[in-house]
A and B are shown apart, each in its own frame.
Chain A
Amino acid sequence: MTNTDALDLHYTKLSPRGEVEGSYITPSTQLILKAAEALGVRWREIPGTRIFELQYNGTNKLFRYQISINTTDIGFYTCLDKSVTNTILKANEISVPNGFHLEKTDTEEYWLEAFHSLTKPTVIKPTHGNKGIGISVGVTEEADFLERVRAAFALFENDSEAGVIIEEQCQGEEFRVIATKGKVLGVLQRIPANVVGDGIHTIQELIAEKNTHPYRNIFESKLYPKIKADALTEEMLREQGLSLMSILEKNYQVFLRKVSNISQGGDSVDLTSQIHPTFAEVANKVANSLPGIDFMGIDIMTADIRQSVERSPYHVIEVNSSPGFDIHEFPMTGKRQFIALEFVLLAFPELRPRLATMTTEQLENLY
């Protein structure tokens, strides 16, 4: 694969038959490649590794997924193991959920001791892993707790890194902050899949209409997967006394899912310009506390990130060293944040002055 204007790129995989087309490159990674091109940075893939080489002015820098060029082994490891992340944040006086790290070699008695010492409900999650795999929320019963812990341990391929976290479940909304050391690049809230009535169309029609949104049709619909009118949706509607055939009043919003995942048809709202300075400070503190990482996604649970931390107490629940940021570049509501550009600038800071002279419109058209 070489430089190209087209989206929808795939990795090159090494197979017994030689180089073949591999998995789809996620939209966030593709955006980095496009931003690089826009800045006159050449790129190429190292086949079979998912590593990309960026080249500018005779200097080569490598990145993989959305892991910054400058992320070190320690930085990567710190975010890979959520228990390590928590420990370091806590030591730096950042609010994290109360909890403990369980090991496979612990006695069941110890697991229960940890469970009973915490306020219910609790959350159980594997120390490694992403996309919410193996995470159980709302765990209050002893038997259920033990079962969930065992299930989480079973997810590990390698026993030596197997660990499970039990922590108190925090209240509030989840906000995703993309940060570098010293700067908040984007703030976003995800909201569950929903439609808004117009007094004319059925819910089914509103879903179909919403699915024609351009953002739901680029990157092979992997950026914003389409909303599904499936059994789960029907059940959710039934709970609200509605069906797919119901016609909603004008401006009446109906939620189709309980979870806010984008993969489940959720929407996104950019709040970058509205983050309260005290929350920007929290993000900076997180960024400065973690050694060896200069680009990250910080998941914060709080009532409202636009309020001060005094009025809206918070918990940092996770830090991701390879954050997806495509939805920050294409928010359903709010302003586009040029995260991919910032990512490339972390590799080649000397290119920043070129951006200073550009208008927003020029930026919009850059990639």
Chain B
Amino acid sequence: MQRKYYTRQTVRGPQSDEVMGGSAILTLHEAEKYGMTTEEIPDTKIFKITYKDQAQYFRAQNPAQTTGIAFQASTDKNMGRSLLKRAGISISEGFTIKKSDPVEYWLEVFAALQKPLVVKPTNGTQGQSVFMNVAEEGAFRTAVRVCLQHTLHISAGAVVEEMFQGQEYRILASAAKIIGVINRRPANVVGDGTSTITQLIEQKNSDPRRGDDPNDVLVKIKVDNHVTSHIESQGLTLESIPEKDLRVFLRLNSNISTGGDSLDVTDQVHPTVIEVAQRAMAAFPGLAFAGIDFMTKDITAPQTPDSYVIVEVNDSPGYSIHDQPYEGKNRHGAYEFLCVIFPQLRNDFPQPLE
């Protein structure tokens, strides 16, 4: 995909700013198909979009229809959690510990939650200082202490959550419908009985859909310390030759940006998953379009309160993974996004244009 950049007004004149996300570029392409015009408002990352003389705005994957409250609810984890809980949806119960909270409060939090726990900094990125499987009080205290030291920022803290064991899915939804469900699989290769892991990685990376930029819809697998130590933990090296059809995982995290696979499983999910997702959407007042991070023991089975949790509801979901999955169908997230901005689009074009 061709790269695009936002525009920034500088003292030297207009210049390229941050690179635009893959989904934002899809939106611009998709809009063109239906005769819409889009115009960036420089320095704001906001787009003005016009369809049949009607003007609207969007930014990233936030449509004009999403409310200010929904925006706040999806950026404030505690607020989101309260809303989901109120709607009777299972969540990873948890609390935030601030620097100003006394140790007695830490212990109250520890006592109130079901072990094991995940402890992470409120402002952590890319898995820095994330403590998994915390079950003992001593380990818990250490984890909280490290997280609180993670940053000098005064309002920083530690998020403590119950750990849920299950598969991770991303559900793309609008207020009107569930658009697609993606399973993110950590970076992996499948053996052919003759190639080494290094060769299998090279083969997989030669797929033209895999790019070098972490924002690309699929990303090349880079061999780094995480990869070597992860395969070592399985008793393998980069020179090992996996048996035919044996899948070897190269990382623990399932991020697409580090070479993971996106698998469209929309047609396999049990109707109760759709129902839970719809209730989650309704729980967030004024959320017009969202990505729901859903964990479950089995997505094809009827969901019960213990079988799943909703981890997060994101108000600006990237949908390039739904539109260009590694395996599966194009779910047309870009078209659905435009249908949220201009509801009459669905009447004018009941099917997305290819």
Contact = CB atoms under 8 A, between A and B. Distances in A.
A18 to B, nearest CB: 9
Interface string B133-157: 0000000000000000001110110
Interface in B51-71: 57-59, 62-71
B194 interface: no
A252 to B, nearest CB: 42
A63 B10 contact: no
Interface stretch (A43-51, A135-143, A203-211, A343-351): A43-51
B152 A154 contact: yes
A253 interface: no
Given A16-B108, A83-B43, A101-B43, A77 B59 contact: yes
A16 B66 CA distance: 31
B111 A72 contact: no
Interface residues on A, range: 35 or more
Interface string A96-133: 00001100000000100110010000000000000000
A100 B8 CA distance: 10
B11 A113 contact: yes
Classify the secondary structure of A's interface with B: mixed
Contacts of B46: 74, 77-78, 84, 88, 291
Classify the secondary structure of B's interface with A: mixed
Given A87-B42, A117-B11, A157 B155 contact: yes
B352 interface: no
B344 interface: no
A93 to B, nearest CB: 15
Contacts of A46: 82-83, 86
Interface string A193-219: 000000000000000000000000000
A110 B113 CA distance: 49
B292 interface: no
Given A48-B78, A64-B72, A117-B11, A157 B156 contact: yes
Contacts, number: 123
Contact of A75 (B8, B68, B122): B68
A49 B43 contact: no
A256 B153 CA distance: 33
Contacts of A68: 68
Nearest to B47: A74
A37 B154 CA distance: 38
A180 interface: no
A117 B9 CA distance: 14
A74 B153 CA distance: 27
Nearest to B156: A157
A354 interface: no
Given A62-B285, A63-B69, A88-B41, A48 B57 contact: no
Contact of A72 (B67, B79, B151, B285): B67
Contacts of A17: 108, 112
A79 to B, nearest CB: 9
Nearest to B110: A16
Interface in A1-43: 14-17
A125 B63 CA distance: 29
A100 B11 contact: yes
Contact of A51 (B42, B69, B95): B69
Contacts of A74: 46, 57-59, 62, 64
6 contacts: A16-B111, A49-B73, A49-B79, A76-B68, A84-B46, A110-B11
Given A48-B81, A87-B43, A114-B10, 16 more contacts: A15-B108, A51-B83, A71-B69, A72-B68, A73-B62, A73-B70, A73-B71, A74-B46, A78-B46, A84-B43, A87-B41, A87-B42, A100-B9, A110-B11, A113-B12, A157-B151
* 4 shortest interchain CB distances as A-B pairs: A76-B68, A48-B82, A16-B112, A71-B68
Interface of A: 14-17, 46-51, 62-64, 67-68, 71-78, 81, 83-84, 87-88, 91, 100-101, 110, 113-114, 117, 154-158, 291-293, 321
Interface of B: 8-12, 41-46, 57-59, 62-73, 78-79, 81-83, 86, 95, 105, 108-109, 111-113, 122-123, 151-153, 155-156, 285-286, 315
